[in-house]
A and B are shown apart, each in its own frame.
Chain A
Amino acid sequence: MTLLRTMAAGSLALLILVGCADGGARAWIEASRAQSEAAAAADDVAQARAALEALLALEVPSTVAEDDARVIRQDAHERLGRLWLAQGDGARALAEVQRGLVLGEADDIFTANLWVLRGRVREARGEDSEAAADYHRALLIHEHLLSLALGDER
């Protein structure tokens, strides 16, 4: 009887833990979205940067798929990098690109945006051939996405 009670309590704790874990993933997505929208609606660069940094400071729950976290965080790094580049700080822009690429690469528009931004930074530095290589990587991903988009429409 005691064993049955123990097992019942364990099962209840298990359900609560699983429930909290899923809630943590959703809470992270919602908080990230809120910061992303705050950055888009920001009146100035400082506000936008603060919102994106707040997004990146959010701890990713273990229940979030690694690739989902990559997509969200690559987007934030790319937007931060663009803000730095617009202010003429190529080094910080490049650092954001590197932080984004460390998360992984995929044939999606989020990774493509990082290649484009790195090309822009290198182009601004006069590193034309390196910039061309980055643009070429972005081009290949766009071609893949275009074929997907057109195939999806047929």
Chain B
Amino acid sequence: MICSTNNPAARRYMWRFSVTMLLYLVFLVIAVWTFVHRHPTGPLAWLLAFLPALAILGQIAAFGLYLGEEKDEFQVALGVKSMLWGIGGTLAVTVTWGFLENFPQLRHLDLILVYPIFCALSGIAYGLLQLRYR
């Protein structure tokens, strides 16, 4: 969401985002491989299923830390605005899709897609705000 890396807070955010993204990929591969090849049950299965989500929670926390650490109030405002557009857009898309699912032709929207939808919409909003305030 934050493209500018010319200040310490933005650089820390990019670092934390990259680490959590890498962890997400690693956890996802481990979880999928284990479920396919080892068929775990009980607490281990719960833990494996939760690991990729943990990395996503880390990403959300990283953005929260950025908003707290960023000294440039205008950049904070940009981040908050783009996040609000992302949240609003995600609510609009998912609730509309939910009602449309009453029609049997429409495939079920997997909850796992909510976060990517939020990221995409927040990213688009951030880009448009950058254009407005350039």
Answer yes or no: do A and B interact: no
A-to-B contact residues, CB < 8 Å: none
B-to-A contact residues, CB < 8 Å: none
